[in-house]
Amino acid sequence: MVGALLGRQRPPTALLVAGVVVGLGAVLPAAYLFVVVGGDLGAALDEALAADTALVVLRSLGLTAAVCLTAIAIALPLAWLTSRTDLPGRRVWATLAALPLVIPSYVGAYLIIAALGPNGMLQDLLGVERLPSIYGFPGAWLALSLFTFPLVLLPVRSTLQRLDPQLEEAARSMGRTPAETFRTVVLPQLRPALAAGSVLVALYVMSDFGAVSIMRFESFTTEIYVQYRSSFDRTGAASLAAVLVLLMLVLIWLNGRVHRRQALYRSTPGTARPARPYPLGRWRWPALAFCAAVVLAGLALPVGVLVYWASKGISAGAMSSELVGALAFNSLMTGALAAVAGGIAAVIVAVLAARYPNPLSRWIERCGHAGYALPGVVVALGLVYFATRAAPAIYQTVGLLVFALTVHYLPLAIGPIATALGQVSPRVEEAARNLGRSQLTVFRTITAPLARGGVFAGAALVFLHAIKELPATLILAPTGFETLATEIWEQTTFGFYEASAIPALVLVAIAAPPLYLLSERGTVTA
């Protein structure tokens, strides 16, 4: 039967077996939902259809819509100014505007509270007894908007740089104003990128745990975590998780529709010369003020607040250097292990999909993307369920945590590697095999070196997201095993800003350089 599934070009048996193992491992957390919900379907349906669940759905969707609209409102003019106008220093502004993505949502939420919350910097500066509460929807909306808008900025700016300038010039020659040209010619071509970026933001918001938890906003992820930790109600937690996954699958389906529709739009230059920048004239200073305000709110002020509290923490001895070093080591170790495992697994999936296309390899590829639809808290709950029943020896081990991080972020590695493999001509490999080289030798000497850039980019993306992961680490980390992310969350929960700022600053410092390099290379960081 396997032979019938495979195409004429049969993959090596070892590669095929490895691919099946990766595919089954990737869908294991999702299987948890079917097992738990199917085991008590009546109770699960009651929980899913309860009035409280409907309120959680409405709150989560409301927050998601608000953040998406805000991200578009920030990203669209910023992308236009930094790609199609004569804005001074536009490349610098574009780079600085993308860097807020390096700040994890829970760090951003903590920084907002440290600046605007009780006993925060603004209260100290004003000398007032109390400020309006930042907790709840306002705080969650502000934190998520400030640190997710680059997910829209990056694809929109990339699309703008590839658009055919002749279309706009033709419109201008027919008497259209710049505003009319943008509305009637440019904006329709940007809709796929805007939609795709918005879907990425929506997925981020729906799966976020850190920011909404710190801001005390009741969302899907916080409710799932509370039910699991407080009442240990697996059925209730699984029911809520199933509803959340269903919503995220709808978003992923919309994302797929967007990518298919993108072929309807011309986005490759029709001329060798770049687009002529629009002169801003008297709008130059307002444009610079807008860019400065975005960078100030999303990067400069958060980093400034972080340095302020970190300096106070260091002066007060809030956290020893030995503890910070141990936290950083744990984060780096788990991130590096997940990056290596994710890189290897992604290479297996990408090679099967790119070089041996058939129903089985496509199934493996789809399984590899299963983690994309699962929030970290759901991945963790699924692995806890199976580990405690089938493999209790690996429960509460670093290995299980690394496995969760690998499964969760595997799709981030598959994309760049598949793209890199797509740029390697199969004829080169075929010629080498005709010369008598084995498939393994061809892959080792030809394919792997040519696809090395994609492999490194994919592994780097897994590393960057793994070191920032919060809910999966909170649930799966062994007792006493703390990372920078968990330490930030725990200290912030008790309002210890000085103590939480130090590991937060270290985490940002670790993540910033590779993210900058990836953004400069145009790698998707979502």
Which sign does the torsion angle of CA 518, 407, 381, 241 carry?
positive
What amino acid is encoded at 491 in this protein?
Q
Per the structure block, which two tokens stand in for 345? Answer: 């697994």
Per the structure block, which two tokens stand in for 366? Answer: 């789809």
Per the structure block, which two tokens stand in for 174? Answer: 């027919």
Q: Please indicate whether the domains covering 9-32+318-526 and 40-316 agree at the CATH topology level.
A: yes
What amino acid is encoded at 457 in this protein?
A
Q: What angle do CA 401, 405, 411 make, to 5 degrees?
A: 160
Q: How would you write 84-117 as a 3-class SS string?
A: HECCCCHHHHHHHHHHHHHCCHHHHHHHHHHHHC
Query: Is 407 strand, coil or helix?
Result: helix
Which has more pLDDT, 26 or 46? 26
Which sign does the torsion angle of CA 141, 147, 152, 157 carry?
positive
Q: Within 13 Å and on the Cβ side, how many CA atoms surround 340?
A: 7
Query: Is 278 strand, coil or helix?
Result: strand
Q: What is the mean pLDDT of the chain?
A: 81
Taking residues 316-340, what's their average pLDDT? Answer: 90
Taking residues 462-478, what's their average pLDDT? Answer: 90
Per the structure block, which two tokens stand in for 400? Answer: 């299980």
Which has more pLDDT, 340 or 523? 340
In CATH terms, 9-32+318-526 corresponds, of 2.40.50.140, 1.10.10.10, 1.20.120.80, 1.10.3720.10, to 1.10.3720.10
Query: What phi and psi values does residue 496 have, to the nearest 5 degrees?
Result: -90, 80
Question: Token match 């694809």: residue?
Answer: 155
Which has more pLDDT, 355 or 22? 22
**Choice among 117-121, 188-192, 213-217, 370-374 with the minimum mean pLDDT:** 117-121
Structure confidence by residue, pLDDT tens digits, 261-307: 554 444 444 444 566 777 888 888 999 999 999 999 988 888 888 88
Tell me what pLDDT residue 273 has: 56
Residue 526 CA to residue 191 CA, distance in Å, equals 18
Tell me what pLDDT residue 272 has: 45
Tell me what pLDDT residue 266 has: 45
Taking residues 338-351, what's their average pLDDT? Answer: 91
Q: 506, 497, 519: which is closest to 214 by C-alpha?
A: 497
Taking residues 440-468, what's their average pLDDT? Answer: 80
* Confidence check: pLDDT of 174 > 80: no
Question: How would residue 1 be classed by pLDDT, with cut points 50, 70 and 90?
Answer: very low
* Contact between 453 and 421 (Cβ < 8 Å): no
Tell me what pLDDT residue 77 has: 92
Total residues belonging to the chain: 526
Residue 102 neighbours by CB under 8 Å, 6+ apart: 508, 511, 512, 515, 516
What amino acid is encoded at 333 in this protein?
M
Residue 314, CA distances (Å) to 42, 167, 351 in order: 54, 57, 49
DSSP per-residue codes, 428-458 = HHHHHHHTT--HHHHIIIIIHHHTHHHHHHH
Within its chain, how far is the Cα of 59 from the centroid?
Answer: 21
Tell me what pLDDT residue 255 has: 63
Residue 484 CA to residue 410 CA, distance in Å, equals 22
Domain ranges in the chain are: 9-32+318-526, 40-316
Tell me what pLDDT residue 75 has: 93
Question: How would residue 525 be classed by pLDDT, with cut points 50, 70 and 90?
Answer: very low
How big, in percent rounded to 5, are the helix, strand and coil portions of the chain? 80, 0, 20
Which CATH code is given to the segment(s) 40-316? 1.10.3720.10
Taking residues 452-459, what's their average pLDDT? Answer: 82
Tell me what pLDDT residue 426 has: 73
Taking residues 447-464, what's their average pLDDT? Answer: 81
Question: Token match 């981030």: residue?
Answer: 412
Which has more pLDDT, 45 or 512? 512
Tell me what pLDDT residue 261 has: 54
Q: What percent of the chain stands above pLDDT 90?
A: 19
Q: 177, 167, 189: which is closest to 76 by C-alpha?
A: 189
Q: What angle do CA 403, 519, 365 make, to 5 degrees?
A: 40
Residue 433, CA distances (Å) to 347, 443, 445, 489 in order: 20, 10, 12, 53
Question: How would residue 47 be classed by pLDDT, with cut points 50, 70 and 90?
Answer: low
Taking residues 366-389, what's their average pLDDT? Answer: 84
Structure confidence by residue, pLDDT tens digits, 485-512: 999 888 887 778 788 888 988 998 888 7
Tell me what pLDDT residue 335 has: 94
Q: What percent of the chain stands above pLDDT 70?
A: 83
Query: pTM for the full model?
Result: 0.79
* Contact between 113 and 212 (Cβ < 8 Å): no
